[in-house]
Amino acid sequence: MIPLVWSDRCLLHVPGGEVFVGMRTSGTEVPERALAIREALADASLVEAREHDDEVLLAVHDASLVDYLRTAWRDWPAGELEQDRVVPYSFAHRGNSPRRIPVAQWARAGWFAYDTMTLIGPGTWEAARAAVDVALTAVDFVTDGAPAAYACTRPPGHHACRDAFGGSCYLNNAAIAAEALRRSLGGTVAVIDIDAHHGNGTQELFWERDDVRTVSVHVDPAAGWFPHFVGFADETTDANRNLPLAPGSGDDEWLAAVREAAAWVEDVAGVVVALGVDAAAADPESPLRVTHEAFREAGRIVCSLGLPTVVVQEGGYDLGTLGPLVREFHIGLGE
C-alpha cells in the first residue's frame, strides 16, 4: 500500500448543507468521507502533511480567490443574516461593460462562487488550505524517489478554477500537485481525472499550456450532468482530452476510456491521478455503474505506465463503499 498523506485539519470543513435549486439540502461532501477512506486503508503508512508556503498555490490560483477564501467566513455578517454559512445570491455574468468585486459581503460570494452548492463556514479555509499541504507533501514523497503517494484530500479540488470555486471544491489540489510535480521533475506531466464529474477546474487552469496534459473520464455533461457548461467531447487541444460517457455506462465503457486516457499520456514524466470514486454504481451523485473490480483494474492501468504517480482524492459520496473503492484502486496500483 502506498503512503497515505493525511491532515486532521481537512476534517474542519463541515459543509452544513448545499443549496440545490434554491433548497438547502444536507451536505454530501462531509468529513466522514475522509475517515471512511482512512479506515479502509488502515494498513497503509500514515504520513502527517507538512506545511508548504503559498508559492505553488499562487502559481495556480489568482491571489484574489485565495484572499477571499481566507477571509470570507471571518467577514461574513453572521449577526445580520440568518445563514450560518457563506452562500451567494447574485452572480457576475458574462458581459461587455465593466464590472467589479462587490462591497457587500453577501454579494462578494457571487464574484468568486459559480454555484450555490459550495458553502463556506468556520473551518472551510483551514481545511481547504490543509488539503493543499496534503497534496504537496505527497508530491514531495514522489520527487524524493517514492514510486507513488496518496494524498487523502478533502475538500476535493478538481472543480476549482483559477479565480472561481464550486462543485464542493475551493482550491484545486490535483492541479497544484501537477504544477509542483512538473517543477520538480521537469518536462511535461499529466493529470488523469477519473472522478465521475468532468475536471473543469483542471482543464481551465492548464487550457493554454502544453506542459501539463489534462484528460478526464466522466459522465457526459451533454446528458445533463455537472459541471453542465464544460466537459464536452469536442473540447480538445494538443494538451486536453475529454472522454465523456453516457449515463448508465459500466465497467467496459469506463475502463476503455481509462485505458485511452492512460495511453494518451504514456510519454510524460509524471502523473497525477484525480481519484474520485463517485463513478461507482452505489454512488448517489453520478449515474455511472462502475464496480469495485474496475477500480482495481484502473489502478493496474495507471501502474502499467511505470511513471512517478501522485494520487489525489476527489469525490465519492457513498459512505458505505467509498473507502473500499479507494482501496481497490490502490491494490491495482501496487500490483
Q: Quote the least distance from Cβ 27 to ligand SP5, whole Å.
A: 7
Q: Quote the least distance from Cβ 282 to Zn ion, whole Å.
A: 14
Only one of the segments 120-128, 177-185, 192-200, 297-305 lies at the binding site for Zn ion (rule: CB under 5 A); that segment is 192-200
Answer yes or no: are the C-beta atoms of 297 and 248 closer than 8 Å. Answer: no
User: What does residue 215 show for φ and ψ, rounded to 5 degrees?
Assistant: -140, 135
- Residues with Cβ < 8 Å from 105, sequence gap 6 or more? 72, 75, 76, 77
117 contact choice in ligand SP5, Zn ion, none (CB below 5 to 8 Å, kind-dependent) = ligand SP5
Distance CA 264, CA 277 (A): 21
**Of 179 and 285, which CB lies nearer to ligand SP5 in the complex structure?**
285
**Of 73 and 317, which CB lies nearer to Zn ion in the complex structure?**
317
167 contact choice in ligand SP5, Zn ion, none (CB below 5 to 8 Å, kind-dependent) = ligand SP5
Q: What is the DSSP string of 107-172?
A: HHHHHHBS-SS--B-TTHHHHHHHHHHHHHHHHHHHHTT-SEEEE--SS--TT--SS-BBTTBSS-
Name the residue number minimizing CB distance to ligand SP5.
Answer: 315
**Where does the chain have alpha helices with state H?**
32-40, 55-60, 63-71, 105-112, 124-143, 173-185, 200-205, 251-264, 292-304, 322-333
Q: Quote the least distance from Cβ 82 to ligand SP5, whole Å.
A: 20
Residue 154 in contact with Zn ion, rule: CB under 5 A? no
**Of 33 and 197, which CB lies nearer to Zn ion in the complex structure?**
197
169 contact choice in ligand SP5, Zn ion, none (CB below 5 to 8 Å, kind-dependent) = ligand SP5
Instruction: Indicate the DSSP class of residue 31.
Output: T
Site for Zn ion in 300-329 (CB under 5 A): 315
**Of 111 and 317, which CB lies nearer to Zn ion in the complex structure?**
317
Q: Quote the least distance from Cβ 96 to ligand SP5, whole Å.
A: 30
Answer yes or no: are the C-beta atoms of 142 and 310 closer than 8 Å. Answer: yes
Residue of 52, 159, 218, 292 with catalytic role: 159
Only one of the segments 115-123, 177-185, 257-265, 270-278 lies at the binding site for Zn ion (rule: CB under 5 A); that segment is 270-278
Task: Order the strands of the 4-6 sheet from edge to edge.
Answer: 46-48, 4-6, 148-151, 309-313, 270-275, 189-193, 212-219, 240-245
Answer yes or no: are the C-beta atoms of 112 and 163 closer than 8 Å. Answer: yes
Tell me, yes or no, if 61 is annotated catalytic. no
Distance CA 309, CA 288 (A): 25
20 contact choice in Zn ion, ligand SP5, none (CB below 5 to 8 Å, kind-dependent) = ligand SP5
226 contact choice in Zn ion, ligand SP5, none (CB below 5 to 8 Å, kind-dependent) = ligand SP5
The binding site for ligand SP5 (CB under 6 A) comprises 18, 20, 25, 28, 117, 156, 159, 167-169, 195, 197, 226, 276, 278, 285, 314-315
- Residues with Cβ < 8 Å from 51, sequence gap 6 or more? 133
Q: Quote the least distance from Cβ 316 to Zn ion, whole Å.
A: 7
Q: Quote the least distance from Cβ 225 to ligand SP5, whole Å.
A: 8
Residue 276 in contact with Zn ion, rule: CB under 5 A? yes
Beta-bridge partner residues of 205: none
Which residues would be at the binding site for Zn ion (CB under 5 A)? Answer: 195-197, 276, 278, 315
- Cite the active site residues: 159
